[in-house]
Chains A and B, each alone.
Chain A
Amino acid sequence: MDLAAQLIVSGLLAGAPYALAAWGMAVAFANGMLNLTLGLFFTLGAYFALEFTARGLPASSAAPAAALAALIAGWAIERVFVRPLQGRALATAVVLLGIALAGEQVFGLVWGGADRSVPLKLEVLQIEHVVVAGLELFIAAGAALAFFGVVALARRTRAGLAVRAAAENAEIASCAGLDVERVRVWAFAGGCAAAAAAGAFVSPITPLSPSMGRGALIFSLAVVAAGGPSLRGLLAGSLALGVITQSPATYFAPQWAVVVAAAVLAGAAARRRVPLWRRANA
């Protein structure tokens, strides 16, 4: 029982930053783009945190800084690479994947291919029979704050409404006077920013390498595939997936996290198909 509680708590805490990254994937997905550069921005955020702590800057400022940089870079990528593709899903996915891979090599050149780590330690707490690293708690809190902040932004502001309207039906939204292209580019960029913040949050407890974003990418895809476009589903999905991936990862070996995420992605994608015996729209 203690072990179960421990795993669940660890999983929830681990899932929190990834929920943020998954939101980034979801918002791009809802606007018709498979953002395969999410992992790249995730990694970027982590390396930002590395640089910040190396220069003695406060670690908590790494996330916002990374988010800002990712916002700008994401905006540029969407304008230059995604827009000319006119919504073609396969081409968008492939081009963004290519960019992500190229970015990984650049990171490798700048920061080297070996694992780095962000030195940041807080005390370990013990609540009942569950051991929680203060660091993890801090990270989860930060990520949760960011996540709910983003949700509030989406729900309560006009900009958020615009994003959701464009995601629903771009043609009608544009007839209503909404600049759909602008909404899409900011949705994409916002997603990248969220991923970068998530990467910064996760950096103290994860070994940093140029390809560390791949796991986050697959995780986010799995959450979007399983949890669906609704925010509630996203949150539940990422927390659940956090628990599911972290349990084998801590119990057996860290490699299992990616395996489980990929399995969830594949299973969810396979299941979520419109059956051939579909409903007619006459």
Chain B
Amino acid sequence: MSTAAVTRSAAPPRVDGVAAYAPGRPPSLWWAVGGWIAVPFLTAALARDRFILTTLAAAAVQGLFAVGWVLLAVTGQPSLGHALPYGAGAYAAAFVARRAGLHGGDLGGWVPVVLTAAAAIAGGCFGGLQGRLTRRLAPAFVAVVTLATVEAARSLATMWTVPVLRGSGDTDTAIPLPTFPNDDRAAAWLAAAAFASGVLVVAALVRSRTGVALRAAAGGERDAEALGFDAPRLRLFAFIAAGTIAGIAGALAAQLSGHASPLMLSWQASLFAPAAALIGGAATVAGPAAAAYAGAGAAQFFEIPAAVQLLVFAGVLVAAGLRDPQHLFGPAFSWNPRPAERTGDPRPGRSRPIVPWEDA
């Protein structure tokens, strides 16, 4: 994303009169995103092994989860609690299934649709809650408060236990729900379709006029308002939209695996999205999606334990923060920043205590 590359390229083609999202990249919607959309479908078609198919399905769901997070990054709200709407979606699906008296097995028909719809609503609501709480907070505090919300939710989730084996007195913190679909290849296809739709929706949104508004909101409430954008509402919208996508991902994950558990609300689950975004490239939609798909697939395939994953995410966060602190999670983030652009305006130290809210 160097400025030299930008000046070398021709004027970027426009979509609906609006310049493309990523500075310096030839930005046609299809070209930037299309390549990646095909991969999950191809792999779902070609794979034979059952284990690989379930891995691909899980990877695609994680990709969907991460691509929703991109919306939050676009508006300058790096949420570290994205697992909350995800887990909320999974638990909502489980809750609805239990209320309806469905306890397991592949029921098909309208059941998965209803469960996923419930999950989408739950995800949107919990995402909206996070957004409402952090509406006017500066990015550092958005990160901290969202992390706290996910920890609180995880605590609550561990309290909901059900006797899994009837009469045995055993309790388990995983809530079972009907699995769908039973066929592994169908599962991989479904997950790929959901992933592809998510990527297309987010990419289209980010490249639209609404996307311009969202990006303007990232520049600070004062400046966004002066341009004519209702910044708090835009930021909330981003949380609700990202939360809805995460909720759907949660429902899919729960139905594919057959249970909803507090692990879906863990810090490791939550930090997966920002880590994937940092690895994949902060200014695009396809990058984080690809990184998430590949990373989750690898983690599942090699059965990397959660502790190791968390360590990897921690390493990515530390490295990214040290590498380009000026633009962390922003569109200009680069693993290879030029020294001048990296440190930017040299500040000897803060001249006043940090302000949790938007610097008005």
Q: Which residues of A contact B (CB under 8 A)?
A: 29-34, 36, 81, 84-95, 97-102, 104-105, 108, 113, 167, 169-172, 174, 180-181, 184, 214-215, 218, 221-222, 225, 229, 253, 255-256, 258-259, 261-263, 265-267, 269-270, 272-274, 276, 278
Contacts and interface: CB of A to CB of B under 8 A. Distances in A.
A123 to B, nearest CB: 32
A274 B222 CA distance: 12
A36 B144 contact: yes
B4 interface: no
Given A29-B354, A101-B310, A170-B351, A273 B317 contact: no
Given A94-B143, A98-B317, A101-B313, 11 more contacts: A30-B353, A32-B349, A86-B346, A86-B349, A91-B328, A98-B313, A98-B314, A180-B348, A255-B159, A266-B133, A266-B149
Contacts of B267: 101, 214
A258 B136 contact: no
Nearest to B135: A270
A84 B143 CA distance: 21
Contact of B317 (A94, A184, A267): A94
A19 B252 CA distance: 43
Contacts of A92: 140, 321, 325
B349 A269 contact: no
A259 B155 contact: yes
> For chain B, what secondary structure do more than half of its interface residues adopt (helix, strand, loop), or is it mixed?
helix
Given A90-B329, A94-B328, A218 B318 contact: no
Contact of B311 (A101, A174, A184, A267): A101
Q: Which of B137, B139, B145, B159 has the most CB of A within 10 A?
A: B145
Given A86-B343, A88-B326, A94-B328, A276 B144 contact: no
A99 B311 CA distance: 9
Nearest to B78: A90
Contacts of A229: 353
Interface string B74-117: 00001010000000000000000000000000000000000000
A273 B353 contact: no
Interface string B117-156: 0000000000000001111111111011101110110011
A116 B347 CA distance: 45
A171 to B, nearest CB: 4
Interface string B237-263: 000000000000000000000000000
Nearest to B138: A89
Contact of A32 (B138, B221, B320, B354): B354
Interface string B339-360: 0000100111111111111101
B317 A97 contact: yes
A78 to B, nearest CB: 12
Nearest to A33: B354
A270 B152 contact: no
B45 interface: no
B125 to A, nearest CB: 15
Interface of B: 78, 80, 132-141, 143-145, 147-149, 151-152, 155-156, 158-159, 221, 225, 267, 271, 307, 310-311, 313-318, 320-322, 325-326, 328-329, 343, 346-358, 360
A262 to B, nearest CB: 4
Given A36-B144, A181-B349, A273 B354 contact: no
B314 A180 contact: no
A276 B225 contact: yes
Nearest to B344: A86
B314 A29 contact: no
Given A30-B353, A255-B158, A255-B159, A270 B144 contact: no
Contacts of B350: 31-32, 87, 170
A171 B351 contact: yes
B321 A98 contact: yes
B263 to A, nearest CB: 13
Given A89-B354, A253-B159, A274-B360, A95 B317 contact: yes
A255 B281 CA distance: 37
Contacts of A221: 144, 148
Contacts of A91: 321-322, 325-326, 328
Contacts of B149: 262, 266
